[in-house]
Structure 1
Amino acid sequence: MMYWDTGDSVVDCILQKIEILSDWKEDSDASQVQSLLVALIDIERMLPQAVSRHFKIPHLFVGDAHFTGGDEYRRRLVSNITNAVKEGLGKATADPLLQRNGGAVFDDRPRSRGEEILDAIDTFESERTISALLKLKTATSPTRLQSRVKSIEMLMNRKRPYGNQDPEVAMLGELYRLRQEAKEYHSQMA
């Protein structure tokens, strides 16, 4: 796996996700191909021009052809997509503008869902109010991160130790994990 350091943490996360998708197995069933297509469509929408110009990914809007087209069609589709993604990654790696302080401009990238969640975490950490908690709930809805927010809400009202931890220490642990997991949502538009 390559180390991406463009100077923009969202772009770095997206490039890492693209790299993971480039190794998609060709013998995928229709629902797995659907997952690949949806992930790449979401990613394409998030890429700034400085990065997207390296990727010429074909055949993402195929309707239901990957469900009706058979195994050979899916193999070819996945192969074409992963080859194009690998080629784009090679070009992006070689581009000196995409290095930290390389001069690439990323302001044309839309705000990510991960950034929205991280901002809500920052607000909650600084204020610790019901209003900040509601903002955090809204930012994580509907994602699997909601269970972390429910734990934080429970710890916010708890006075007695939680297991062998002070509720504040347990809440800090939940907030840390929530912050780390929020980065997984950088490839989704806010």
Structure 2
Amino acid sequence: MHNWICAIIESLKLLPSSVANHFRVGSYFIGGAHFETNDEGRQRLWQRLGAQLKGEIDAVLADPALKRAEAPDLSDRPTTKGERLVKICDELQQALTSGRDADQIAARLEREASGTPVAFDARQIRKLLAKRRISDLAQHQADLYRLVGHARLVAGGLNHLE
């Protein structure tokens, strides 16, 4: 359940302000309360947090200003790590296709992807770009495109990260 609370707190950071205003983020910071109580106390704590989350989601759904027909302003939503990584992958793909220098873009991808599953692909891309003796150019390019495509695919699933 601790991971559930962490996921809620992280997800609330990614909401547009018009939606986030319906949530009381501070009440989800419970410290070690769930470790310091007995099973009955934990059960009450989880029920309270679950009921609170349900009430807040119901409030969002009931808000007339957020109805699709009203065209709510959701433009202040922060970009997610997944969106940023996909954008860098697209830039890298364009650089590889056009023959431009892709080293700096690959380095930026590696930096930004740190701590995510995309980081492995980014390191492999950097290694391939640094390779000096290439025996089969077509295979080398195919490996680069495959890795960039895979990194983009994995990055598309990281829209839950800030």
- Give the paired residue count: 153
In structure 2, the CA distance between the partners of 1:167 and 1:37, relative to structure 1 (3 Å rule), is: same
* 1:182 match: 155
Indicate which of 125, 130, 141 corresponds to 1:168: 141
Q: CA deviation at 1:69?
A: 1.8
Indicate which of 116, 122, 135 corresponds to 1:143: 116
**CA distances 1:1-60 after superposition (whole Å, capped 9, x unpaired):** xxxxxxxxxxxxxxxxxxxxxxxxxxxxxxxx2212221111112211232244456731
Share of identical aligned residues, percent? 24
Distance in 1 of aligned mates of 2:125 and 2:25:
41
In structure 2, the CA distance between the partners of 1:58 and 1:133, relative to structure 1 (3 Å rule), is: closer
Q: Equivalent residue of 1:59, what SS?
A: helix
Contact 1:117 1:139 in 2 (8 A): yes
TM-score (norm 2): 0.73
* 2:86 match: 118
Distance in 2 of aligned mates of 1:79 and 1:160:
62
Higher CA-based Rg:
2
Unaligned regions of 5+ residues in structure 2, if any? 97-101
In structure 2, the CA distance between the partners of 1:58 and 1:142, relative to structure 1 (3 Å rule), is: closer
**CA distances 1:94-123 after superposition (whole Å, capped 9, x unpaired):** 667454x75121232223222221222122
RMSD, aligned α-carbons: 3.0
Amino acid of the residue matched to residue 68 of structure 1?
Answer: E
